[in-house]
Amino acid sequence: MSNHAACPAGAGQRPAGHADHLTRVELTWIAKRIEFWIRFGQSSDVRFLDRIRSLHSFRPGCVFALVRWAANDYGTMISRIDIVRTVSPGEPYQTLPFVRPGGDILLKLSGLPKVGCVLRAIKAIEALGIDPTEVSPDHWRHIHNRLTAGHEPRAYTQDQHRAHLKRLRVEP
C-alpha cells in the first residue's frame, strides 16, 4: 500500500495533470485478443485515445469492476477481475495495472473459473435489484477470500444490504 501522508515531499504524489483527484482506468479492446472492460461502475468521464483504447475517469469513493482478458492463437492467456474502490487524496492505496494511481482493492482474482464465479455473483446481486457499486465492501472481500481458499462464497442478501446501508447512515 502507498500512503501519501507518510511519504516525503514529492514522493508518491500524483503526476502533473492529475490535480482533479480522479482515478483513471485505461481500457483496451482488440476483439478476441485483448478485451479490458468495466463490468460495473459509473465513470465521470470517458476519453477515446484511439480506435482501441479509452480512458475512464472515476471520482473518489466510486467502486468499479475491471475485467481483463487476453488470448493468443492457442486460447486464453489471462483472465482477471478486480473490484476497486477509488481513493481520495491522502488515503492509502494499492497499485494495479492500467489503474492510475491505484485504489483500495476489494477483490482481485485470476483464472477463468474464479472470474466466472465472480461474474455470476455480480449477476445474482443485480437480480436482487441491487447496484453492485452499493454492495458492502466486506462482501467483495468475502468473495475474494472464499474463492482464494477454494470455497464457494455465500450469496449477498437483501438483509445484508439493508444492514450495510444502515451502517453507512450512522458512520461519521
pLDDT surpassing 90 at residue 9: no
pLDDT at 19: 59
pLDDT at 171: 84
Which tens digit of pLDDT belongs to each residue from 27-84?
A: 999 999 999 999 999 999 999 999 999 999 999 999 999 999 999 999 999 999 999 9
Confidence of residue 20 (pLDDT cuts 50, 70, 90): confident
pLDDT at 7: 29
Can you tell me the distance from the alpha carbon of 124 to that of 65, in angstroms, rounded to the nearest whole number?
A: 15
Instruction: Tell me which H or E stretch contains 39.
Output: strand 34-40
pLDDT surpassing 50 at residue 15: no
- Residue 91 in grid coordinates: 488515503
pLDDT at 17: 46
Q: Alpha-carbon torsion 164, 169, 44, 9, what sign?
A: negative
Q: Print burial letters for 1-31: b (CB count within 10 Å at least 16), e (below 16).
A: eeebeeeeeeeeeeeeeeeeebbbbebbeee
pLDDT surpassing 70 at residue 102: yes
Q: Of 100, 1, 4, whose CA–CA distance to 58 is shortest?
A: 100
Confidence of residue 18 (pLDDT cuts 50, 70, 90): low
Q: What is the pTM of this model?
A: 0.86
Residue spans of beta strands (DSSP E) within 98-146: 99-110
Residue spans per domain, the chain: 4-170
